[in-house]
Amino acid sequence: MDHLLSIQDLTAADITTILDTAAGLKDIALRPIKKVPTLRGRTVCNLFLEDSTRTRISFEIAAKRLSADVINFSAKGSSVSKGESLKDTALTLQAMGVDAIVIRHAASGAPQQLTRWVDAKVLNAGDGWHQHPTQALLDLFTIRERLGHVEGLRAAIVGDVFHSRVARSVCQGLLTMGAEVTIVGPPTLLPPRVDTWGAAVSADLDAVLDKTDVLYLLRVQRERMGQQFFPSSREYARIWGVDRDRLARLPEGAIVMHPGPMNRGVEISADAADAANSVITEQVTNGIAVRMSCLYLLLGGEQATA
């Protein structure tokens, strides 16, 4: 692997390697000393030009548990707020000799662009509406850990698919690993060419619930409210939100996932979020192991030593 830009660049074998490696790294969190020396002397820069807490912290913990040095760089309080371009920021980091750049950017394709300017390994932590590959990988890890496999499972991705890089990445990852995917949501929140994704499409959540092993709920992006995508959060909750009643209609053993942060009472009710088959907090825990795995697999070998 040269970089981690998109889940679509990865074959099923690549994904399996990442997940197997993550499984070997996960138990570091259970030790008295939650740290191994593997990435000692490597520098990882978190370049977050769009707000994020959990992904940035998760990447930071992942790098630190592998003993890398971590620099956090956000738009606020940096030269970016003075108008520095991404290219100049990248060249500055290059000149400082960082080994990996974890980038979140509001523009789709920014991580790809970054690879043309720097020698460092680039990890996409979310770009625009395009991709969020580590989210998809941690979701696949969580599914595999809970259900034993991904192939042949029936997954439903529910909600604002249009604005969601998570939906795109998770859908592609699930399809690569051999799952069946149904996209469910208000027609106004489905992307125009969703029929080319290789997934089924439905506007009726209740019709797919009893045929779903993995129910993946997307965050309703409150900032889109009042933009005529749907009338109100109460109406959204009634038609596409998941509560105890809908949870009860899932087959035995099905799991509920959410990439966070949740809007309790909108896409998921409070009691559904805390139900036994909700794996939402496991997703967060597994995110660290999966990001450790990506850093470990990307930063080895000679090309990483400057």
Partner 1 sequence: MPSAGAPVLAAQDIARALKRMAHEILERNKGAERLVLMGIRTRGIPLAERLAGGIAEIEGTGPGGVPCGSLDVTLYRDDYARTGPLPLGATRFPGPVDGKVVVLVDDVLYTGRTIRAAMDAVMDYGRPRAIQLAVLVDRGHRELPIRADYVGKNLPTSDDQEVKVHLRERDGSDEVLVRRREAAA
Contact residue for partner 1 among 24, 97, 178, 187 (CB under 8 A): 24
45/26 Cα distance (integer angstroms): 22
249 is catalytic: no
Under rule CB under 8 A, residue 35 binds partner 1? yes
Under rule CB under 8 A, residue 148 binds partner 1? no
Under rule CB under 8 A, residue 20 binds partner 1? yes
82 is catalytic: yes
**Closest by Cα among 220, 242, 246 to 232:** 220
236/183 Cα distance (integer angstroms): 16
**Closest by Cα among 247, 261, 238 to 215:** 247
Under rule CB under 8 A, residue 11 binds partner 1? no
Residue closer to partner 1 by CB (options 35, 211) is 35
Lookup result for tokens 């707000």: 51
104 is catalytic: yes
Q: What is the amino acid identity at position 251?
A: P
H-type alpha helices, 191-300: 205-208, 233-240, 244-248, 270-273, 280-299
Piece of the chain touching partner 1 by CB under 8 A; list 32-40, 100-108, 165-173, 254-262: 32-40
- Phi, psi angle pair for 254, to nearest 5°: -70, 155
219 is catalytic: no
Residue closer to partner 1 by CB (options 119, 235) is 119
Residue closer to partner 1 by CB (options 17, 202) is 17
Residue closer to partner 1 by CB (options 1, 71) is 1
Interface with partner 1 in residues 46-75 (CB under 8 A) = 66
Q: What angle do CA 235, 240, 246 make, to 5 degrees?
A: 115
39/296 Cα distance (integer angstroms): 8
Contact residue for partner 1 among 16, 21, 112, 277 (CB under 8 A): 21
188 is catalytic: no
Q: Which residues are catalytic?
A: 54-55, 82, 104, 132
Binding site for partner 1 (CB under 8 A): 17, 20-21, 23-25, 27, 31-33, 35-39, 66, 296-297, 299-302, 304-305
